[in-house]
Structure 1
Amino acid sequence: MTIGKRKSWIEQSRLTLESLETRSLLSGIHGAATARVPDHHPAIVSTAAAKSTAVAAKSSSVKSETHLVANLADATGASKVTGTAKFESELKRGVPVRELSVEVKGATAGSVIQVTATDAKGTASVLGSITVKADGSGKLKLTAKSPDILAGSSISLNSTDAAGTVSTLASGIFAVPTKGSGSGHDSSDHTETKLAAKLVDPASKLTGSVCFESETEHGLVVSELSVQLKGGTPGAVIDVSISLDGKSPASSIGQITIGADGTGKLKLNKTAPAVTATSVITLSTVSTATDGSVTVTPITNATFATVPKPGR
C-alpha cells in the first residue's frame, strides 16, 4: 500500500469511529444549524414500566380474599361442646376457591355431630358430620363443597337421638377476625374479640354492665362473659338471657341473686356463649308464687357493641 492510499484509509477509519455529537453545520440559506441525535431509550423504559404497572393493577383487581371466624358454644350452658369454625375464600381470575373447617372439643366420644350453616343466600343446609374421637374432639374440612359464607351467617353443631329429635350442642355467628395487638401471629391463627353492653331498668334503680372477651389461637378458644349489676333490690333474683343473633328467642345463661348491698355478678368461662356484635342480652325478674309457679318478667335489654382498641 502506498503512503497516499494508507493516509486516505486512516482518515476514513477515523470518520467511522468518531462518536455522534453536536455539530455546527454551515448552510448558505439559514446560516449555522445545530443537529443532535435524539435519545429514545427513556421512552422505551417508561413504556415498559407503564405496561408492568397496568399488569399489576389488573392482577390485583381480579384477586380478593375473605376470612371469617365463628366461636361455637351453647348459650344455655347445658352442653359443654365448644368449637371454632373458619371460612376462607379467594377469588383468582374469576374462579372462587373456598375452604371451611370446623373443630370441636368437649363432645362425647363416639358420638356423631351434624354441622349446619347458612350460606350467602340465607339457606340453611347440613354440611357434613363429625365423628368424635376418644379425647372428645373432632374436625370437618370442606373445600370444593364449601358454601359461600358471609359475615353474619350462622353455624350450629347438632345431635340427633334415637327418636329423631335434633338438639343444638353449640352455635355461633361468622364475623371478620381482628388481629391481636402485638400477638405476632397471623389474623387467621390468632383472633381477639371484645364486646360490651350497658343495661338500665327505667322502672327502678337497677343498672348493669356486661363484658364479653374471646381469644382464639390455633383453634383453641378462651372466652369469658361477666355481668355486673348494682342498685337492685336485696334478695331479688335476676335472670340473664341472650339471643345470639339478636332475632331468635333468648336463652337463659344463668341467674343473679342481688346481695344486701344491691349488687350481684355472673361470670361464665367454659360455658360462655359465642356472643357477637348483633347479640342481645336481656335481664328479667324471677318471682316464685306460693304454689311453686315461676314468673319471668323482662325488665331491660341491650345489644352488644365492639369495644374500640386503645388509641383508635
Structure 2
Amino acid sequence: MTERLGRVYFGMQAVAGLTWWIAVFTVPFVREATLGGLDAVLVAVLDVPLFVGASAIAAFGVRAAAFVATGWTLIVTGLLAVYATVTGEAGWGVLLMGAATVASVVALSLMVLGRVPTEWMLVGPFAFRRADATAKTGAHLAATAAQITVFWGVLLGVVPVVIAWLERRWGLAVDAPTWLLPFGAVVFALASALGIWSAIAMATRGVGTPLPAATANRLVVAGPYRFVRNPMAVAGITQGVAVGLMLGSWLVVVYAVAGGLFWNFVVRPLEEAELEARFGEEFRRYREAVRCWVPTLPGAAALE
C-alpha cells in the first residue's frame, strides 16, 4: 500500500509537470513567474525527460526512475534558488520545485523503504537522552535558558529574517496592513510567555530540559502541561506565525505552519513513543486525559 502511494504521487507529478510545461509555452505569465529569463526550450530539453519522463516511469514501479526524478528535482531546486536570488526572478518556480522536492523524497522513501524513516531525523543532539538526574534545578534551568536562547534566536530570528528577505528578493512579497506588526508583537509576547512557563515547568518539575538530548526524568503534568500535552510546540508555532505577521511575510507564516506539521507528524509520534516506553501507564493515562493541541479543561490536575 505504501509503495503504491509513492507510485501514485510520481504519476501525479508527471501529469502536473507536463501541464506546467504546456502552460510555460502558452501562458507568458506562467513562464515569467516560474522561469524568469531562462531559456524555456533549453530547460525543457533536460527537465521533460528527467522530471516528467522519469516521474512517469517511476509511477510504474521503476525505482531507478524514482531516484532520477527525485535527484533532478533537488538539483533544479538548488540551481533555481541561486538564479532567483541573483536575478530576482522565478521565485514561484523555486517554491513549486521546493515543494516537489519534499514530496518526491517522501514518495521515494515509500517506494524503496515502504515507509518514511522519520527516526533518522532524531540523531546526534536531537536523540533522546535523559538529563543528569543528580544535577541541581539551577543547572537544568540554566541549560534550558541556553537552549531557548539558541533555538529562538535561530528559528525565530535568523531563519525568518532570511526567509522574509528571500521573499522580497524573489518578488513574492505582498503589501501587508500596518496593524499586523503591533498585533503580531502582542501574539508573540503571549506565546513567548507560554513557552517560558512550559520550559520552567519542564526544568523544575521534570528534572531535565525541553531538548531531547537532555530530556526530563519525570513526566510533567504541571503548569501548562495540565491543559495541553505540548505547550512548547503550541507556543513555538504561534511565535513563528507572530514573527511572520510582524515582518509582514506570508512565507514566514507558511514556514511556521510547515514546522508545526513537521513536528506533529514526524517528531510527536517518536516523542510520544519514547514517553510511553519510559513512563508506561502513567503517560497513557495522561494522554487520554489531555489533548495534544486544543486545551483540555479542567485538565490533568488529578494526575499531578
Q: Which has the higher contact order (CA 8 A, sep 6+)?
A: 2
Question: Bigger radius of gyration, 1 or 2?
Answer: 1
When the two structures are superposed, what TM-score results if normalisation uses the length of structure 1?
0.23
More helix by share: 2
